[in-house]
C-alpha cells in the first residue's frame, strides 16, 4: 500500500519490521480509506469540508478487526489509533458506515460486525 499511496496520512499504526505487526497492516479497509484520502487530495478539498456518508461493506464474516477499530470504542494514545479512528478524526463531518457480509454458518463472529461513526464518536454499533 505504501507504494500506491506513499503520502497518505491514515495508516495502520504498526511497523512491518517488528515481528507480528505485518498481519495488522494493508487490510482491505485501509486500501479503501487510502483511495478516499487520495481522491480528496486530488480534488483539492479540505478534510473538514467533506460531508455526507461513506459506506464500506467488508466481506470477512468475523467482522471488522479490533486493530482497525482501535480507539473508536475505548480511548487510546493518538499514535495507537486504528484506521477508522484516524479517519473520523481527520474527516469530522463525514459519517462512516461500515458493515459486514454475514455468514449464517459462522454463529459466533469474533469482532465488531457493523458501526456508524461521525466526528470521532460511534453512533451505532453491532457486535457479534
pTM above 0.85, yes or no: yes
Where does the pLDDT of residue 128 fall: very low under 50, low under 70, confident under 90, or very high at 90 and above? low
Where does the pLDDT of residue 56 fall: very low under 50, low under 70, confident under 90, or very high at 90 and above? very high
Asked if residues 26 and 68 have their Cβ atoms less than 8 Å apart, the reply is: no
Q: Where are the domains of the chain?
A: 22-126
Instruction: Give me the sign of the Cα torsion angle 44, 71, 33, 19.
Output: positive
Amino acid at each position: 500500500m505504501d507504494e500506491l499511496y506513499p503520502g497518505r496520512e491514515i495508516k495502520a499504526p504498526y511497523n512491518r519490521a517488528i515481528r507480528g505487526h505485518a498481519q495488522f497492516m494493508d487490510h482491505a479497509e485501509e486500501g479503501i480509506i487510502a483511495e478516499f484520502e487520495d481522491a480528496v487530495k486530488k480534488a483539492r478539498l479540505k478534510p473538514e469540508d467533506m460531508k455526507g456518508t461513506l459506506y464500506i461493506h467488508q466481506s470477512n464474516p468475523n467482522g471488522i478487526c479490533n486493530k482497525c477499530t482501535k480507539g473508536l470504542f475505548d480511548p487510546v494514545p493518538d499514535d495507537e489509533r486504528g484506521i477508522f479512528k484516524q479517519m473520523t478524526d481527520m474527516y469530522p463531518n463525514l459519517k462512516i458506515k461500515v458493515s459486514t457480509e454475514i455468514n449464517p454458518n459462522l454463529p459466533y463472529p469474533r469482532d465488531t460486525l457493523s458501526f456508524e461513526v461521525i466526528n470521532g464518536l460511534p453512533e451505532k454499533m453491532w457486535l457479534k
